Amino acid sequence: MQRRKFIQQTLTAGAAATLLNPTILFAAKQPKVRVGLIGVGLRGRNHLDLCLQRDDVEVIAIADPDTKSAIPESQAMIAKYGRKRAVEYTKGDEDFLNLLKRDDIDAVIISTPWEWHIPQAIAAMKAGKIPAVEVCGATDLQDCWDIVNAAESTGISLYMMENVCYRRDVMAVLNMVRKGVFGELLHLQGGYQHDLREVKFNDGKQPYGGGVEFGEKGFSEAKWRTNHSVYRNGDLYPTHGLGPVAMMTNINRGNRLTALSSVATKSRGLHNYVMSKGGANHPNAQVDFKLGDIVTTSIQTANGETIVLSHDTNSPRPYSLNFRVQGTKGLWMDDFNSIYVEGRSPKAHSWEKDEAYMKEYDHVLWKNYESQATGAGHGGMDFFVINSFIESIKRQAPFAMDVYDLATWYAITPISERSVGEGGSLQQIPDFTRGKWMNRKPIFALDELGY
Amino acid sequence: MQRRKFIQQTLTAGAAATLLNPTILFAAKQPKVRVGLIGVGLRGRNHLDLCLQRDDVEVIAIADPDTKSAIPESQAMIAKYGRKRAVEYTKGDEDFLNLLKRDDIDAVIISTPWEWHIPQAIAAMKAGKIPAVEVCGATDLQDCWDIVNAAESTGISLYMMENVCYRRDVMAVLNMVRKGVFGELLHLQGGYQHDLREVKFNDGKQPYGGGVEFGEKGFSEAKWRTNHSVYRNGDLYPTHGLGPVAMMTNINRGNRLTALSSVATKSRGLHNYVMSKGGANHPNAQVDFKLGDIVTTSIQTANGETIVLSHDTNSPRPYSLNFRVQGTKGLWMDDFNSIYVEGRSPKAHSWEKDEAYMKEYDHVLWKNYESQATGAGHGGMDFFVINSFIESIKRQAPFAMDVYDLATWYAITPISERSVGEGGSLQQIPDFTRGKWMNRKPIFALDELGY
């Protein structure tokens, strides 16, 4: 009944139900989703772990060229759960294409270096596999069109794995937005403010810190992620900040992002770090890091809200996703868990702590799944990502975060690069739905959905 | 000795010492500054009170067309201090011109509705009087050039009364910036986030709230300020946020603002307020308020910092000037008095309260003048504004906030209006110093200055 109502709603709404290819779906009463993982580094193994905990998932194969660490660690994890050893695809960067040729895989989880996400997801769709794709920004705007076109031409949907949409406080705030606590939304902020200097540099052995190596001499993320800071200047990592506020403002579902401009500060933090930890004689002291230390992006929406994103990863600072959700009746601010609601907050013009609101508006998903989520990665958020992906496939239901969301959110990166490159110029944001946003309805974490 | 050193410094630095007209300055050992006040509403009387407390100021005349309240309240205040009754100029909006004709006045303090600041200041300079001018934004960009040209052609300097530059925590942070605590500055934020609905509307009798009248039927600021929200859309009130961070980044003194873009949300708050307090049948329910509820302005500087200003005056929210001061070694945030300094903060990646820093870096001006400042307006800030204005005149020294600062800060308003009007387009910010910023040296609140 709940499910029928939901599917009816989404179909009525012209949602992307047709993007699930019926030929690969299951009639069985207790279907299992057969999964391959492309990329089983630290992040991929987090998803692997969550898959292994589920009775409704079979892990069939894993692809990763790192046979020293990623592959054996994954197989050990699989063995620990008493599951069948996964078939390995380790012969270089392109061996994932052979994984995609298998006929016993329904879906793939892509947790690879950023520049691989879109080509691998397109290859998966062309091979009839449903991809779940990790977060990042696109390297080129055309990639965002290419992935939309691939989804539409193959009829295979795509799941965008933005875990922060499932953060417990973020979901409570989404609940408050939907219940009108903040009135009509006006201004939202988000971002990625995270001192990543010990992620961008390490000693080539441990994942975090201990040296100033990156690229070929680096390990884990330093191996590939840091180069984006060498060669690019823009908001390189927009989705953690944008995804949650996009859900609150119904982006691509009755609203859309229309334009942005980005400004970047000078670049100092990464060079300073190399100098202080490696000395002036270290070869990396000569590297010219293009990424401005703080990139601020102002986004406008069709419905008249503004969204400001901050990308701030090269400097010493406390971690913060910079959330602010402000409407005509009040506002919530991530930093210091602060809220003010007119007529409810005890003292006019004064913040109160958000604790009571977080309890009162705790999202039904968190109430229902708290025990399963506890212990999953990133404070439980990662559980919901995998759960939503798998449950949607089992129910043949549209994904709550789909290819249009991925294209829109990923696109912020190349568009912000262009804006920064033009001194902060105004840039239009394409409508990747080609007008469907006017009729699509919000489906993310609806109370009646149950997953 | 101190003074000679200072004047030498500023002259060497090519500072605007020539903008003080020597003919009106004093050779007496204990000079008094003879002052006229143009505008003696609530704000003007705050300055009047501070003038009356000083032995080195004589209040000669006051100009204000409001003979019901402003003039009698001012004379009562003057009488309370046992001072000589001020000569009154009350015959309409233009009678201040007659005040300016007096030959027994050295300086005027202008605290009038925003649209009068620049024409009155120009008239003052042309009459050989030194103007101190209250905060606001310009109504037109050309006005900013006109006032610079008037100062340069008359040789009369101007004092910009931005009181937040003297806020105790802001001055401690300026002190920290100058001592290198934050390293090299990267990103700063400021703004004016203040629920002004009860300032923009009242019952025509009391200054704050009690009704939904404004314009002719309003009282005090509602009489004139609200119309700016009816007809304009941009950052209407930039200087409280910008002034302090401009001092920290040495704007017009080794640095300058180069470009901005502004985005505005939809306008809801003022209409909603009229509807909820006055009902749909009140005539003001038909008013189309142009001012977006939240206006965000991204500014770039010649030295590669970014500055984000927020203007947010129509919605229920806690008061906050939104300050953030971030450099390569750490950052301070106004909200919740938060700071993080690498190598000093006890826990990596974690905020601490700024209390110990505020004590350690308390500015020498606050240490020296604490008892006089206590009880002055706005937490003591207003004392320093009047003190700096009067002491600079007595010492024939350049003003710490001068006509170039006024022009630059005021200009944000019309430039942001143009940007918002063009959908958030990038706008260049003029160099009102015509290149002098490259040689001018910072003089605001230097430790050795003493005022």
Q: What is the per-residue pLDDT for A29?
A: 55
Residue type, A103: D
Measured between beta carbons, which residues in chain A are less than 8 angstroms from residue B184?
268
The answer to whether the Cβ–Cβ distance between A424 and B426 falls below 8 Å is yes
Instruction: Indicate if the pLDDT at residue B53 is higher than 60.
Output: yes
Q: What is the mean pLDDT of residues A197-215?
A: 97
Contact A45, A81 (CB under 8 A): no
Q: What is the per-residue pLDDT for A17?
A: 40
Touching check for A428 and chain B: CB below 8 Å?
no
For chain B, what percent of residues have pLDDT higher than 90?
90
Least CB-CB distance to B317: which of A268, A318, A331? A331
Residue whose entry in the numeric block shows the structure tokens 């409407």: A327
CATH architecture of the domain A2-162 equals 3-Layer(aba) Sandwich (3.40)
Contact B172, B361 (CB under 8 A): yes
The answer to whether the Cβ–Cβ distance between A186 and B308 falls below 8 Å is no
Q: What is the per-residue pLDDT for A375?
A: 76
Q: What is the mean pLDDT of residues A39-53?
A: 97
Least CB-CB distance to A268: which of B195, B328, B423? B328
Residue type, B263: V
Q: What is the per-residue pLDDT for A30?
A: 56
Strands (E), B250-391: 257-264, 294-301, 306-312, 324-327, 330-333, 338-341, 352-353
Instruction: Indicate if the pLDDT at residue A139 is higher than 70.
Output: yes
The answer to whether the Cβ–Cβ distance between B328 and A266 falls below 8 Å is no
User: What topology is assigned to A165-363+400-438 in CATH?
Assistant: Dihydrodipicolinate Reductase; domain 2 (3.30.360)
Q: Which two tokens stand for residue B239?
A: 């200087």
- pLDDT band, very low/low/confident/very high, at B448 (cuts 50, 70, 90): confident
Measured between beta carbons, which residues in chain B are less than 8 angstroms from residue A272?
183, 328
Touching check for A208 and chain B: CB below 8 Å?
no
Instruction: Indicate if the pLDDT at residue A373 is higher than 50.
Output: yes
- pLDDT band, very low/low/confident/very high, at A50 (cuts 50, 70, 90): very high
Answer whether CATH 3.55.10.10 is correct for domain B2-163: no
Q: Which CATH number is B165-363+403-436 given?
A: 3.30.360.10
Task: List Cα–Cα distances, A237 to A136, A388, B260, in angstroms.
Answer: 5, 22, 23
Q: What is the per-residue pLDDT for A248?
A: 98
**What's the mean per-residue pLDDT of chain A?**
93
Least CB-CB distance to A263: which of B183, B300, B349? B300
Sequence spans of domains, chain A: 2-162, 165-363+400-438
- pLDDT band, very low/low/confident/very high, at B374 (cuts 50, 70, 90): confident
Q: What is the mean pLDDT of residues B222-228?
A: 97
User: How much is the CA Rg of chain A, to the nearest whole Å?
Assistant: 22
Q: What is the per-residue pLDDT for B13?
A: 37
Measured between beta carbons, which residues in chain A are less than 8 angstroms from residue B350?
318
Residue A290 backbone dihedrals phi, psi, to 5 degrees: -80, -30
Strands (E), B12-138: 33-38, 57-63, 87-89, 107-110, 130-133
Distance CA(A125)–CA(A109), nearest Å, equals: 12
Domain A2-162 matches domain A165-363+400-438 at the CATH topology level: no
If we measure between CA atoms, which residue out of A311, A411, A445, A346 comes closest to residue B187? A311
pTM of the model: 0.94
Distance CA(A302)–CA(A66), nearest Å, equals: 45
Please, which residues 227-256 of chain B have a Cβ atom closer than 8 Å to chain A? none
If we measure between CA atoms, which residue out of B291, B333, B317 comes closest to residue B193? B317
Instruction: Indicate if the pLDDT at residue A431 is higher than 70.
Output: yes
Instruction: Indicate if the pLDDT at residue B52 is higher than 50.
Output: yes
Touching check for B347 and chain A: CB below 8 Å?
no
Contact B372, B390 (CB under 8 A): no
Q: What is the mean pLDDT of residues B213-237?
A: 97
Measured between beta carbons, which residues in chain A are less than 8 angstroms from residue B329?
316
Q: What is the per-residue pLDDT for A382?
A: 95
Q: Which residue of B has its CA nearest to A343?
A: B316
Instruction: Indicate if the pLDDT at residue B15 is higher than 80.
Output: no
Mutation to test the A interface, candidates B181, B185, B263, most A Cβ within 10 Å? B263
Q: What is the per-residue pLDDT for B359?
A: 98
Residue type, B258: T
